[in-house]
Structure 1
Amino acid sequence: MFKQRVITALVLAPLALCAVFFLPLPYFAIFISAAFLIGAWEWSLFCGYRKLSSQLLYCSLIGLSLLGLYIALPDTPYWPVQMDDLSNLMLGLGVLWWLVAVLLVLSFPKSSASWSQGHLRRALMGWFTLVPAWTAVLLVRSVNYHQDSYTGAWLIFLLLGIVWAADIGGYLVGKPFGKRKLLPAVSPGKTLEGMAGGFAMVLLLVTAVSAYLGWPEQTLTWYLAALLLTLLSVFGDLSESMFKRVAGLKDSGSIFPGHGGILDRIDSLTATAPLYALLLALLGGFA
């Protein structure tokens, strides 16, 4: 299983990075839309939808939301210089939802009484998970696009680096040394030691980036933001585990050998992307 996971990761990571760096913005929007629509298909199973018609309807509603946002958002290559109400609303909704999701995870299984029996409620939770995150990824890729098409790509690469470092550090430390369970009711495999390993790996990443850039004045802010994003990435993983547990699923899907479904790969990204985009807009100094 581990060998299969490594091989799949070695194939997927370069493909994702090639899309991030080399696809023009409209084609990048199509690429991430396809990924998120697959995620919507998997989320339909979390909702308890088993009929093909119900799954297609849910994916269509998510797809129409993405299309409507793409049309309604202002000229994204000028974001975040041209901050607008719709971008702010979507990012704010994403951050607010994840504050709620953290509380749901911390109080699970008691919290599930309020949503586990409602298909519509779980469907709405999927919308708040997927649509604001899609918006955030598109906006981050758009940063300074009119001046340098690679600025946003490097920013997405940094976000992916944080998410991947947290995941790798958690695995490398948690697998051999993990003893104290983090939230066993949600995910029996997660440990406090693994979470500490994830934090340590992310701090090493931020240190390496800061040293390479000559320790800029924003370094302390970067450390604080990275720690917050790492914590949120952990809860992104835990949140998906919570929904899978209620739905009686081991993986969100089987599209990736050894990795499960696409939601199993982007759960941490959906949690961190809205906050990351807001931090860039507020602290990035692009205006």
Structure 2
Amino acid sequence: MLIQRVVTALVLLPALLALVWFAPTSAVFAVFALAGALIAWEWSGLMRLPSPALRQGYAAAVGLILVLAWFTPLRAQALVWLLVPAALWWLLVPLLFRGFPGNLQRRPIPTLPMGLLGMLLVVATILSLAWVHALPGGPLKLLYVFFLVFAADTGAFLAGRSFGRRKLAPAISPGKTVEGAIGGIALCAAWALTGGVYAFGVAGTGLWWLLGLSLFVAAGSIVGDLAESMFKRVSGIKDSGSLLPGHGGLLDRVDSILAAAPLMVLGLIVTGL
């Protein structure tokens, strides 16, 4: 399993870096939109849709929405309209963690709201990633966002393995600890003060805004990971799919980005960074 994870990462990471660094934004969006349709397919498994045809239809609908969103002249406005409800979801979903699993066992989220939520999160994320890429110096800034999420995950793993004692959300993800989360956020702070300064060219007050935003986004990425784990437990599945050997499904790898990307873009717009 570990060898599969390493091999998959060694294949995907250079491809991601090359795409972000060398491809135009339209090509980046096209690849990410395809990934978005695959994520929607896996999300439909969390919805427990009863047939492959319905799951395919859901994935196709999300893909169509992404295409329409890209070509609409109101794309920038549409993104802002999506960012606000997406951010509200990530701010409020921790309220579900405290009562889990009893709360969602007694009152599971109906299929239609679950489907609309998946559409909102996937479309907001893909448009957010393309928005960052289209900025001046966008490829570097987008890589900063990706590596911010990687830092949160890596720091949490290392700190949790070395110092983890108190469970963060034992009913949702027993392996995650409070110490791990602190370690992940600490590594993100170091990344913001190094890579962030270079990617965004900030100093003085701008640096503090970027640091605060990065820590907020890092915390959001942890929430995104926990939220997907919560939905998987409700649905009775271990992995969202089997697309990535050793990693599970694509949704399993990008759950943190579903939270981080919209929160980052909304923060960049609000702070003017």
TM-score computed with the length of structure 2 as normaliser? 0.92
Whole-Å Cα distance in 2 between the matches of residues 238 and 141 of structure 1? 27
- CA RMSD in angstroms comes to 2.0
Q: How many residue pairs align between the two structures?
A: 271
Distance apart, 1:117 and its partner CA: 5.7
Which residue of the other structure, out of 115, 119, 127, is the alignment partner of 1:135?
127
The amino acid of 1:269's aligned partner reads I
Which residue of the other structure, out of 94, 102, 118, is the alignment partner of 1:102?
94
Query: Does the 8 Å CA contact 1:141/1:153 hold for their aligned counterparts?
Result: yes
Which aligned segments of 4 or more residues in structure 1 are displaced greater than 4 angstroms? 210-215
Which residue of the other structure, out of 78, 87, 104, is the alignment partner of 2:79?
87
Match of 1:265 in 2: 253
Which residue of the other structure, out of 218, 222, 225, is the alignment partner of 1:230?
218
Match of 2:93, SS state, is helix
Query: Does the 8 Å CA contact 1:37/1:62 hold for their aligned counterparts?
Result: yes
Distance apart, 1:177 and its partner CA: 2.9
Match of 2:31, SS state, is helix
Query: Does the 8 Å CA contact 1:169/1:200 hold for their aligned counterparts?
Result: yes
Cα deviation code 1:172-198 (max 9, x no counterpart) = 121243221101111111111111110
Match of 2:175 in 1: 189
The amino acid of 2:212's aligned partner reads L
Query: Does the 8 Å CA contact 1:115/1:121 hold for their aligned counterparts?
Result: no
Which residue of the other structure, out of 246, 252, 258, is the alignment partner of 2:240?
252
The amino acid of 1:137's aligned partner reads L
Query: Does the 8 Å CA contact 2:128/2:262 hold for their aligned counterparts?
Result: yes
Query: Does the 8 Å CA contact 1:93/1:132 hold for their aligned counterparts?
Result: no
Structure 1, unaligned stretches of length 5 or more? 77-83, 145-150
Distance apart, 1:228 and its partner CA: 0.6
Whole-Å Cα distance in 2 between the matches of residues 172 and 281 of structure 1? 32
- Residues 67 and 115 from structure 1, CA distance in 2 versus in 1: closer, same or farther, beyond 3 angstroms? farther
- Residues 34 and 12 from structure 1, CA distance in 2 versus in 1: closer, same or farther, beyond 3 angstroms? same
Match of 1:190, SS state, is strand
5-14 or 25-34: bigger deviation: 5-14
Whole-Å Cα distance in 1 between the matches of residues 72 and 92 of structure 2? 27
Whole-Å Cα distance in 1 between the matches of residues 215 and 106 of structure 2? 30
Structure 2, unaligned stretches of length 5 or more? none
Whole-Å Cα distance in 1 between the matches of residues 167 and 142 of structure 2? 31
Match of 2:115 in 1: 123
Match of 1:260, SS state, is coil
Determine which structure has the larger helix proportion and give its number: 2
Which residue of the other structure, out of 158, 162, 165, is the alignment partner of 1:172?
158
Whole-Å Cα distance in 2 between the matches of residues 44 and 225 of structure 1? 31
